[in-house]
Structure 1
């Protein structure tokens, strides 16, 4: 008997549940709300799923072809990156991060609050998947369309662990969720393969979007991040995070802590690759991690701290523990920073 899949979700950090059968719904409640805030549940139909990404982008005041975020420095500072050994704060003294590159930006004003080698281009690993999601969002594709994972989706420049198998079938929304939350490489590869025009058109769209956004240090060669030629700077990734934040599906999917995928014949239990999202101690609106040897551990986040929306970027961390520690230190430092600082 054919299994009909439904996707049921709502955005802005409440809960998400996806039912995978027309008669039996496997639901997982995902709590991404602050402690003490009551959850609500909104269910919607397959017709809604088809338009999942159609109206998420806030295009007000956006130039044609994309939005350029202006990143500003404080008076008397320079846009030239400091030496590799130097970490510069523009207000109070703060933590010395181990990351090769880092940036904290006020998401409302574009003001740089913290910078370390933020203009240096380096491999970005699976942070690539954030642009993959933006390109999918911009294409307004049918999110309930079934995608079957092909052998080619598991072939790449590097071998990486995966819970997915050749022949697994999910709708496009679920594939996007798997790529953003669990950082599954075959999922990101399948999104590019099934894009109109295939992988070549998809990679072209990624690079065009980066150019339109003013991401001048960024180059994409594939959609997963396994290729070390995918490079960007902390500055460029801050611009990308600000753009990706406009899409409700990207916000929700990337900040989902846990999700159980019911494929009908087996369950896939998946958790977010960012421990700060899984632990729920911070108000993280959007998140993406990445790792390959050439890139080190990376993470980008859009967060709200003391009513200030901010973007945090860390690239080239030596270990996952160092990445988590640096992210936590920067968030703690940001929480103590005066709002007008």
Structure 2
């Protein structure tokens, strides 16, 4: 009887072994993935282009003001002087989303100031004015945007306006890594996009603009490029180049629902990469 009892105990514990092993595998698998709530995300080694993490990276989604990195490239590629002044007109008022702008109609600013606050603070009227002040007008500017996207092999992308207010400005997280890597090569874009603030003299008086991305104020991130974006259709979006073990790493977050979800997802992904590389 004692032998049977002992055999039962042996078999009972033996049966637990695969269950414990399975639980460990499940826990390890869960720990091996970062907690990303956004609809799509990707992390890429900026130097090599190697993908380090991807979630729905090829899904075609609205990209909101991430568009403005492409807008900046088209502005700079036109070779028109950034020291030329341009005026905000009624044609630059957003009548799609009726988004707020701090630049009243009639404001006269240098084109470089418009580019600066479009990148740093997502000033939509500045982006609209820059696109209007282009050979062929705004329509010609949008055509140039799509030509540039095609040249970068952004095959899942299409743009209809320079601000990203339209939900028809679409791309994928993977395509946006191509855009970000190209934009990173422009010193002016890196400088304007990562600056903390800008005093603008125009309109009704001096205006202080600040960066919309809280990560630029965190020295640990050493942000080399960034752009935030939000519309109801796109959710909260982010492109940021930050350091991971001394290497520039590109993060793209699309479609975060919470107000700071895009920043939290980027932080979770960066922390996961740091821990993953240690393992």
Fold match, TM over 0.5? yes
| Contact 2:142/2:162 (<8 A) preserved | yes
Instruction: Determine the structure 1 residue equivalent to 2:7.
Output: none
Choose which of 223, 233, 239 in structure 2 pairs with 1:300. 239
Provide, for residues 33-52 of structure 1, a one-character-per-residue CA deviation record: whole Å limited to 9, x for no partner: xxxxxxxxxxxxxxxxxxxx
Superposition map of 1:255-334 within 5 A: 255-263=194-202, 266-334=205-273
Unaligned runs of at least 5 residues, structure 2:
1-28
Q: CA deviation at 1:265?
A: 5.4
Are residues 1:154 and 2:93 paired?
A: yes
Q: Retained in 2: the 8 A contact 1:274–1:287? A: yes
Structure 2 partner of 1:107: 46
Moved more, 263-272 or 181-190: 263-272
Deviations 1:88-129 (A, max 9, x none): xx9x81322001000000111111100000000000001111
Distance 1:247 1:237 in 2: 16
**Structure (1 or 2) with the larger CA radius of gyration:** 2
Q: Report the Cα distance in structure 2 between the residues aligned to 1:307 and 1:289, rounded to whole angstroms.
A: 23
Aligned to 1:120: 59
The equivalent residue for 1:58 is none
TM-score by length of 1: 0.70
Q: Which has the higher helix share?
A: 2
Residue pairs, 1:22-33, within 5 angstroms:
none
Q: Is the 8 A contact 2:177 2:252 kept in 1?
A: yes
Counterpart position of 2:119: 180
Q: Does 1:233 align with 2:233?
A: no
CA contact (8 A) 1:169 1:263 kept: yes
Aligned length: 250
1:205 aligns to 2:126 (yes or no): no
RMSD of aligned Cα (Å): 1.7
Gaps of 5+ in 1: 1-89
1:115-159, CA deviations, whole angstroms, 9 ceiling, x for partnerless residues? 000000000001111100011111111010001100110133211
Instruction: Give CA-to-partner distance per residue, 1:231-289, whole Å, 9 cap, x none.
Output: 00000001100000000000010111122223385111111111111344411101001
Find the counterpart in structure 2 of residue 145 from structure 1: 84
Is 1:222–2:161 an aligned residue pair? yes
**Matched residues in 1 for 2:217 and 2:131: separation?**
28
TM score, norm. by length of structure 2 = 0.86
**Whole-angstrom CA distance in 2 between matches of 1:306 and 1:137:** 32
Relative contact order: is structure 1 or structure 2 higher (C-alpha 8 Å, sep ≥ 6)?
2
5 Å matches for 1:238-253? 238-253=177-192
Residue 336 of structure 1: SS of its match in structure 2? helix
